[in-house]
Amino acid sequence: MPYDSQEDTPDEALLVLYANGDAAAARALTVRLTPRVFSHAYRMLGDRAEAEDVAQEAMIRLWRIAPDWRQGEAKVTTWLYRVVANLCTDRLRKVRGIALDAVAEPEDDARGPVESLQEQARMDALQAALNRLSDRQRQAVVLRHIEGLGNPEIAGIMEISVEAVESLTARGKRALAAELAGQREALGYADG
Amino acid sequence: MEQTNAMLDELFAEARRNAEAPVSPALLARVLADAEALQPAPRILEAARPRGWRRFVTLLGGWPSVAGLATAALVGVWIGVAGSAGLIGGELGSDLLSLGQESVLADMDQSYAFLVD
């Protein structure tokens, strides 16, 4: 049976089905949303284990709110990004000072070892540079440039103005560029 | 700086392609277990139980039956009102009012005469 056989059904409708006891909706939402939630948490925290805990906690909050979900008030993903951001901020406050820029271990996958290592090194470098941004800058940059959301949606998630989002992403990007400027060759980007 | 910006854009693009990093099956299993544990029991949508006079109508068999009953009742009243004067004025009517059962039966049909004897 396909995991998400309801791929055309909007998240909000699946959430209503879930609240009505539909087991297939529970599976579909899990498979659809967990990777997004986890990825965002990972970008924010730079640590897989921590990100997994945050993803699980965020999804628990979604299951709990499902029966009271108000249709049309917010997108499920917007709500989840906000929850993830809050959970990450809480964790970062707790572990502040404990090697936030620790780079995650490269993980095996199906690509060739050299290519895989090079790509992993690039992603690790990006993550390490992201980790050095302020929490707000990192959140804005990740939502804008990696999750690909529009500024108004980011403003909704971060509960700030669109202008503030633009300012955060611009400053964040400048800081990232400065951070990565000396690593072009090391990351496999030829000059010119 | 331009080169660095271009590199940054490439890094973002690469990160976007990997935006949904493979999630460990263990995490999916944990999330699904939570989903099932916290899921409300299936709600069976019962037809709303009728109350008050609606329930009474339902007991009688619904609106068609009630309409039939109402028509029958009206016809009964009409017969009672319109027919009573004629019946009382006629021979059968006055017999009903003044005589015993035997003469009524005898009047209705002579074949009942043996009952009177």
What would the pLDDT profile of A1-24 be if each residue is shown by its tens digit?
Answer: 445 567 788 999 999 999 999 999
Whether A122 and A71 share a structural domain = no
Residue of A146, A169, A174, A176 to mutate for B, most B C-beta atoms under 10 A: A146
Q: Of A48, A77, A100, which closes a domain?
A: A100
CB–CB of A55 and B31 under 8 A? yes
Neighbours of B70 (CB within 10 A): 10
pLDDT of residue B88: 57
Whether A87 and A147 share a structural domain = no
Token pair of B20, please? 């949904």
Whether A146 and A178 share a structural domain = yes
Cβ contacts below 8 Å, chain A against chain B, sum to 110
Q: Work out the minimum CA distance from A159 to partner chain B, whole angstroms.
A: 23
What digits encode the pLDDT tens for the residues A61-96? 999 999 999 887 788 999 999 999 999 988 887 766
Q: Of A82, A100, A118, which closes a domain?
A: A100
Residue ranges in chain B whose pLDDT is less than 70: 1, 19-21, 43-50, 83-117
Q: Which of chain B's residues have a Cβ under 8 Å away from the Cβ of A19?
A: 40
Owning domain of residue A7: 1-100
Whether A20 and A111 share a structural domain = no
Tokens 């611009």 belong to which residue? A170
Interface of B with A (CB under 8 A): 1, 3-5, 7-8, 10-12, 14-16, 18-24, 27-28, 30-32, 34-36, 38-43
Neighbours of A95 (CB within 10 A): 13
Q: In the predicted model, is pLDDT for residue A144 greater than 90? A: yes
CB–CB of B28 and A145 under 8 A? no
pLDDT of residue A2: 47
CB–CB of B22 and A109 under 8 A? yes
pLDDT of residue A54: 96
Q: Which of residues 79-118 of A touch B (CB under 8 A)?
A: 109
Whether A141 and A180 share a structural domain = yes
Q: In the predicted model, is pLDDT for residue A105 greater than 50? A: no
pLDDT band at A161 (very low <50, low <70, confident <90, very high): very high
Torsion sign over Cα B26, B32, B36, B40: positive
> What CATH code is carried by the domain that includes residue A36?
1.10.1740.10
pLDDT band at A172 (very low <50, low <70, confident <90, very high): very high
CB–CB of B21 and A35 under 8 A? yes
Sketch the domain layout of chain B as residue ranges. 2-38, 52-116
Q: How many angstroms separate the CA atoms of B92 and B87, rounded?
A: 7
Provide the terminal-to-terminal Cα distance of chain B, rounded to the nearest Å: 132
Specify the number of domains making up chain A: 2
Q: How many angstroms separate the CA atoms of A177 and A175, rounded?
A: 5
Q: Which of chain A's residues have a Cβ under 8 Å away from the Cβ of B43?
A: 20-21
Whether A136 and A94 share a structural domain = no
Whether A91 and A11 share a structural domain = yes
CA A93 vs CA A59, A68, A173: distances in Å: 21, 30, 23
Taken as a whole, chain B contains a residue count of 117
